Structure 1
């Protein structure tokens, strides 16, 4: 049945389904938490968001070297599950504090910051693990379907929150997310066994990465290819922050209590993921295999350019939902899988350390700078029209970087062609 929709080999079926479930549970758990986080950010006053982004960035600066130290010393089968279970215990602690009503405002802000760290770390680790388990040619065939697992989770999560937030209460849904995270940790173990027993990866691929704790930053600034990948993430995050501010303001003006705000954010997330899943199942594989990474990576910035222009002259919630839906769908269905394919052409140190630095510190650094920039522009009197137009040049630069990366990928693929069929991937 799976072969009717995905170009998968017999020996890959179990691993692909396991990766699908892994990403589904990971993203479903996060999607349950995200509307709760957004409601806390809205309830805590939109004007405080730049400070929350700044603190988040500071936490990232501490967390990334700690993660680099772990992957340098311990094998992936140890590091990945333990990082997930560390976050699981954090979730249980937040549940207890929120349930008991301890320091509500402080705990709410801490939860907001924690989830901003959590979501980038767990997803970055997931894709680093995928790039380590699957080869480059496998990624082109399979990453679209695997990404659909995350999209399905991002649909199911908001759907559950939208229907359970009011009758059950948002805080109780945290326990469901904790269960999902434990299932994800179990999937890591099973995929590791498959990579060793079926993929026949050498023992060195499971071992510690080695290197220094700041290697991710060093590689980023010395490699034009990795630097461009970092710039791409920075520009995507910057435009996302501009749109997020407008979403928070529009929802805050329409929904007045915690449960209704949580449900509104969940509904927005739901429709973004519905369109994303449709694209991933019907379009992603065909675009990447037939039209190439250049087209796949260009769609999201082009739609962002158009969407910001439309939103500038029609700043209403229905238009925002449409813009976020098409933009988010193109990002998750086309750009994100394409970017993860690019990481299959770099060595393991860059795959775990530079990637985690880009996906976390660079992303949240962009959030922080964009938040303060938007705050400054708002203080100068720019309304939603001005803010939308101010983000247009960022989207244009994002498009240029995407096209550059696509050209580099063709060159790097040609240089490593003899190695691409080896089990476990290739190195740059």
Structure 2
């Protein structure tokens, strides 16, 4: 039956399905943790969010090179399960502390930072592992279906939280993620065994992975394309932070109690992922083929500007859910894949080093700066409407940069005589 929807060969079916399950368990587990993290941040006061983003950025500066050093010494099939089980032990530790009721605000803040770091690693490590297992030709055929496992996981996770948070207690749902994380580690072990299903390159699979993320900084400042991509992700992250703070304000004013807030956050995430799945299945391919890269890159910033205008006029939960669903779905389905097309015109060192720097350090740095900017503007008494309007120029600049990048890629393709490259599937998640 799978072959009716995916261009998969008989010998690949087992590995593709296992990879689908692997990504599903990772993203479902994260989707359970995310509303719990957001609830804790809201419960401790939205003004603390700036400090939490700052702490996340600092931890990321330490964690990313530490992980790079780890994979430079040992092969990934040993490192990845070890990393997942390290996170699993961390999660059980948080669960025990929260159940005992000790630590208070400090534990809640630490959990926020931990989840924010965790989500980067589970997505980035997954796709690195997929690239080791599958050849380039296989990836073009199969990664779209594998990526859908993550989208389904991001649908199921919030649904479970909204359904079970109040009857079981939000904290107890952390055990679901612990189980799913162990399943992910076991999927890595199964896939690492190789065989005719994935045809892994044995020498690569057994060899340690060298290089480091900060090596991409030099390349970043040597290319207009990379600088544009860095500015694009910076503006996306800045508008995301403004929207996150607006969400925290609105939910805090409408939902009272830990479980109710967790359920509210989960409800938002459910509709975001539901709409994303619809776009991925029915719209993305047709839009890219018919209208090209420019429109794909423009949809998310355009909807962001209109959404903030809507929140300024009517700051309600309904407008928030509609805005966030449209914005995030268009980002995951159109803007993010479009940005990946731009990376196909650069060399491999740039793809793996500069891209990693942009996707992590630039993103988290923008989180930190924009969060403090939001806090400063909030302290001036702008109010919800004023803060929403402040984000509109950021969305406008994001739109301008995106259209410029699309034209740059168009000129590059015309100059080289190359056809527009096929879209590479991505793993955002982070969302």
Structure 2 counterparts to residues 9-28 of structure 1, below 5 A: 9-28=9-28
Question: Where do 5+ consecutive residues of structure 1 fail to align?
Answer: 422-428
Q: Distance in 1 between matches of 2:399 and 2:195?
A: 35
Q: Distance in 2 between matches of 1:195 and 1:346?
A: 32
Q: Do 2:32 and 2:173's aligned partners in 1 also have CA atoms closer than 8 Å? A: yes
1:203-241 Cα distance to aligned partner (Å, 9 max, x none): 246633323563243343334444433332222111111
TM-superposed CA distance for 1:61, in Å, is 0.9
Q: Distance in 1 between matches of 2:195 and 2:235?
A: 34
The corresponding residue for 1:127 is 127
Whether 2:16 is the aligned partner of 1:44: answer no
Question: Where do 5+ consecutive residues of structure 2 fail to align?
Answer: 423-431
Q: Do 2:342 and 2:409's aligned partners in 1 also have CA atoms closer than 8 Å? A: yes
The corresponding residue for 2:308 is 308
The corresponding residue for 1:58 is 58
Change (3 A) 1:251 1:235: same
Structure 2 counterparts to residues 208-357 of structure 1, below 5 A: 208-212=208-212, 214-340=214-340, 350-357=350-357
Q: CA RMSD in A?
A: 2.9
Q: Do 2:308 and 2:391's aligned partners in 1 also have CA atoms closer than 8 Å? A: yes
TM-superposed CA distance for 1:245, in Å, is 0.7
TM-score in terms of structure 1 length: 0.88
Structure 2 counterparts to residues 62-77 of structure 1, below 5 A: 62-77=62-77
Q: Do 1:147 and 1:337's aligned partners in 2 also have CA atoms closer than 8 Å? A: no
Whether 2:140 is the aligned partner of 1:146: answer no
Q: Do 1:275 and 1:326's aligned partners in 2 also have CA atoms closer than 8 Å? A: yes
Q: Do 2:77 and 2:205's aligned partners in 1 also have CA atoms closer than 8 Å? A: no
Higher alpha-carbon deviation: 189-198 or 154-163: 189-198
Change (3 A) 1:89 1:356: farther
Q: Do 2:250 and 2:317's aligned partners in 1 also have CA atoms closer than 8 Å? A: yes
Q: Distance in 2 between matches of 1:309 and 1:142?
A: 39
Whether 2:140 is the aligned partner of 1:155: answer no
1:79-133 Cα distance to aligned partner (Å, 9 max, x none): 3322222211111111111112221221111001111111122212223334454
3-state SS, counterpart of residue 246 of structure 2? helix
Q: Distance in 2 between matches of 1:11 and 1:408?
A: 40
Structure 1 residue ranges, 4+ long, deviating more than 6 angstroms after superposition: 412-418
Q: Distance in 2 between matches of 1:200 and 1:111?
A: 37
Higher alpha-carbon deviation: 66-75 or 197-206: 197-206
The corresponding residue for 2:104 is 104
Q: Do 1:165 and 1:259's aligned partners in 2 also have CA atoms closer than 8 Å? A: yes
3-state SS, counterpart of residue 221 of structure 2? helix
Q: Distance in 2 between matches of 1:78 and 1:347?
A: 28
3-state SS, counterpart of residue 325 of structure 1? helix
TM-score in terms of structure 2 length: 0.87
Change (3 A) 1:403 1:98: same
Q: Do 1:145 and 1:280's aligned partners in 2 also have CA atoms closer than 8 Å? A: no
Higher alpha-carbon deviation: 61-70 or 377-386: 377-386
Change (3 A) 1:326 1:290: same
TM-superposed CA distance for 1:66, in Å, is 0.8
3-state SS, counterpart of residue 184 of structure 1? helix
